[in-house]
Structure 1
Amino acid sequence: MESDELRTILNEAGFSPYEADAYISLLETGPSSASELATASAVPRARIYDVLRSLEDEGYVTLYDRDTLTAHPVDPSDALSSLRSTVSRFENAINAIEDRYEAPDELGGEVSVVRRFRTVFDHARTVVSNAENHLQLAATDTQVERLRSALRAAYERGVRIHLSLFVPPEETPPASEELRGISHEVRRRTLPGPFLLLADRQQACYATRGRRTNEYGVLVDDYATAYAFHWYFLTRLREVYDVVHDARSAEAPFTFVEITDCVRGIELALDAGATIRGRVIGRSRADGRRLSLSGEFVAVEYTGTRDETPATLLELAAKATVVFEADDTRYTVGGPGAAIEDIAADRIVVEELSEATDIRPV
């Protein structure tokens, strides 16, 4: 660092111009008499004594009065303790400012609005690490890379992961092997959009990106609110795009984490007379008990019109129900937020088929 820059910084730290000049000159020349220091610096001889005594009072120099007044610089590890304390206070102030800037504005309940994308993304990383059953992610390739280790860990512990990956039309999507082990299904999205992560249909991390003045995010830990983001993901970010990576099995067992996917997956097979057996894992809506039932899938119900093609997502938007028989009891099965069915299912597993069918897990 040049002397002029150091002198400016010392001035900002509280040194007077003469004190900064004398102190720098003393550090460069070593122990010096007052008259020598006045010559080496820009401090007038008439002021040098007062300046040195002021530096001594501050703990930066030691003065010896022999034949002439002589100044010795104090070891910086001792002399600069007050400066270090000042720097530390500034750093603490900077951290406090950043914390206040990034702190969410509570809106009540379990919904928060934050000002920065980084806050949303850091929270998303934690949400991925804590997910138990299902992740839905809309992100860019760069964002996926930053989440790769957390996604891989979630994949390895059995979390089902659906990824809507934004890749501009002029670019080539990542090869399937690059996506292996971090997602069960990847759809290539050609239109830009927000960052969105949903976990277990309960938590949502949403953030816009663009000009800094328009940047904001929403953090959700509430099923009813997350449900709106869930349908936004299905309709706007997933349904209309092509699959570019598929890690799902082509043979039973098939696992469904979306009731809409299950209805569309088994409907035509049931219409063709196939016998479909498997498990339903979830909770009883009557008393909240966790359930894991083995039995037979016997029908599907939804509000749309039945024909020879699988139900559309729109037809399943109001109601999507699977009818399941286990232990001589018939149950209606809905998704995690089931409002009218007997069971709110986290997972539905098709284990056996009476004949070859075109069931596809999603």
Structure 2
Amino acid sequence: MDDSTLSDRLSQLGLSDKEVDTYLSILQSGEATASEIADDTGVSKRYVYSISNSLEDRGFVAVNDHVVPTTIRARPPEEVVDSLTDRLEEMGGALDERYSESVKEPQQFDVIKSRTTVVKRLTEYIADADHEIMLSVPQQYLPEVGEELAAALDRGVLVMLVVSSADDFRAEDAAGRGTVVRAWDHEMPIMLTVDAQFGLVSPAEMVTRTNSDQRAIAFVQRQLVPVLSGSFLGNYWPMAEEVFVADPAPLPATYRDFRHAVLQATLRRRAGETVQAAAQVSPVQADDDPGRVEGAVVETRQGLVEPHTNAYPIEHSLVVDVGDRTVTLGGSGSFLEDYETDAVTLSLES
């Protein structure tokens, strides 16, 4: 590396031109007095002291002010590089943490004007799903997202699908498209929520007609998507008729999407099997904080499959026998259950 490039690299570390000249002079000498450095760089001795103190603070040199005259010694370059590397790694961790937080909590709204963009955004969101998809879509459009829905099912995602404007829609038409599929012969808006984070709402005609002047909205906001999920469960899901329910998934399994756990426990219990639940919990309505709840699931309160057993559309709970009593478990954000949990492990009694 030539002198010009080395000077540029040092400048990129925040050193001024005079600091670079002073540091390179000290490096060349190994150790020198302020007067010698001043003569070599053409700056005053007082300024050399000031720059040297700054370079010492940054770890480039050591100022020996216990001798007369004071000398400035260059620290071994490998020590300087190691020190700079440690600082960059420390800063990198802090930057990564802040960047991750910004990605986890995005705040984004997009008004969509074209059918092509609606289709693209729907398929992108479905492809990104990790835990749960709620989707209402016209029957004629279902094939356009069928491949992404099948892939989501293969990943173990809970897919709650409403097929609207359905004409003689049958169970065999739904297989491989959803975990639970319902059909309605009327038109309804296209609605999508993914993992309680991504959402999209569109008039149906935006995908069924090529010249629609309607607008859709896509958003990425954790505070808003649960509101859309509640509307889906309360206003649209009950109006459609259940046409397909997938076979129960293999157990044991750990579910981060609590509705999925409630569905699997429901299906297993209706098959006559005893389901055990285990979860780290936090109290909501309960007076105690056991930290962990384990026991047999004796009841599920849900509106995912018929017959519904919940008291209101968003209630999806597990009732667990913990020995001396039963307690209710809900997912993250629960407010009526005894405890909330971010994840629950289900297994079958051996």
Distance in 1, matches of 2:313 and 2:243, equals: 25
Please state whether the residue corresponding to 1:164 is helix, strand or coil: strand
Candidates 120, 123, 126, aligned match of 2:124: 126
Residue number in structure 2 paired with 1:59: none
Deviation at 1:155, TM superposition (A): 0.8
Q: Which amino acid aligns with 1:115?
A: K
State whether structure 2 residue 138 is matched by structure 1 residue 140: yes
Deviation at 1:136, TM superposition (A): 1.2
Candidates 200, 205, 208, aligned match of 2:203: 208
Distance in 1, matches of 2:112 and 2:229, equals: 20
Distance 1:280 1:205, change over 3 A: farther
Deviation at 1:239, TM superposition (A): 1.9
Residue number in structure 2 paired with 1:89: none
Distance in 1, matches of 2:307 and 2:204, equals: 36
Residue number in structure 1 paired with 2:228: 229
Distance 1:156 1:193, change over 3 A: same
Distance in 2, matches of 1:149 and 1:250, equals: 20
Distance 1:258 1:216, change over 3 A: farther
Residue number in structure 1 paired with 2:262: 262
Residue number in structure 1 paired with 2:193: 198
Deviation at 1:254, TM superposition (A): 9.8
| Equivalent runs, 1:266-305 vs 2, <5 Å | 276-280=274-278, 295-297=294-296
The superposition leaves residues 67-110 of structure 1 with CA deviations (integer Å, 9 ceiling, x where unpaired) of xxxxxxxxxxxxxxxxxxxxxxxxxxxxxxxxxxxxxxxxx933
Distance in 1, matches of 2:300 and 2:246, equals: 28
Deviation at 1:317, TM superposition (A): 4.8
Residue number in structure 2 paired with 1:337: 333
Please state whether the residue corresponding to 1:229 is helix, strand or coil: helix
Distance 1:175 1:232, change over 3 A: same
Deviation at 1:220, TM superposition (A): 2.2
Q: Which amino acid aligns with 1:246?
A: V
Question: Structure 1 regions of 5+ residues with no counterpart?
Answer: 1-107, 287-291, 303-308, 354-362
Deviation at 1:261, TM superposition (A): 8.9
The superposition leaves residues 179-228 of structure 1 with CA deviations (integer Å, 9 ceiling, x where unpaired) of 32231111111110111111112211111133756511121222321112
Distance in 2, matches of 1:226 and 1:181, equals: 25
Distance in 2, matches of 1:189 and 1:135, equals: 18
Residue number in structure 2 paired with 1:248: 247
Greater C-alpha Rg: 1
Q: Which amino acid aligns with 2:182?
A: R
State whether structure 2 residue 175 is matched by structure 1 residue 180: yes
Please state whether the residue corresponding to 2:219 is helix, strand or coil: strand
Deviation at 1:320, TM superposition (A): 5.5
Query: Are the counterparts in 1 of residues 273 and 348 from structure 2 also a CA contact under 8 Å?
Result: no
Distance in 2, matches of 1:276 and 1:249, equals: 13
Distance 1:175 1:324, change over 3 A: closer
Deviation at 1:113, TM superposition (A): 2.6
Query: Are the counterparts in 2 of residues 282 and 336 from structure 1 also a CA contact under 8 Å?
Result: no
Q: Percent sequence identity over matched residues?
A: 17
The superposition leaves residues 5-64 of structure 1 with CA deviations (integer Å, 9 ceiling, x where unpaired) of xxxxxxxxxxxxxxxxxxxxxxxxxxxxxxxxxxxxxxxxxxxxxxxxxxxxxxxxxxxx
Please state whether the residue corresponding to 1:158 is helix, strand or coil: coil
Query: Are the counterparts in 2 of residues 113 and 217 from structure 1 also a CA contact under 8 Å?
Result: yes
Query: Are the counterparts in 1 of residues 300 and 309 from structure 2 also a CA contact under 8 Å?
Result: no
Distance 1:293 1:279, change over 3 A: farther
Q: Which amino acid aligns with 1:334?
A: G
Please state whether the residue corresponding to 1:135 is helix, strand or coil: strand
Q: Which amino acid aligns with 2:174?
A: L
Residue number in structure 1 paired with 2:154: 156
Between the two proteins, the alignment pairs up a number of residues equal to 227
Q: Which amino acid aligns with 1:228?
A: V
Q: Which amino acid aligns with 1:197?
A: L
Deviation at 1:151, TM superposition (A): 1.3
Question: Structure 2 regions of 5+ residues with no counterpart?
Answer: 1-105, 285-290
Distance in 1, matches of 2:234 and 2:131, equals: 21
Query: Are the counterparts in 2 of residues 162 and 185 from structure 1 also a CA contact under 8 Å?
Result: yes
Q: Which amino acid aligns with 2:136?
A: A
RMSD over aligned Cα, in angstroms? 4.5
Please state whether the residue corresponding to 1:224 is helix, strand or coil: coil
Q: Which amino acid aligns with 1:243?
A: E
Distance in 2, matches of 1:321 and 1:152, equals: 27
Please state whether the residue corresponding to 1:228 is helix, strand or coil: helix
Distance in 1, matches of 2:230 and 2:244, equals: 22
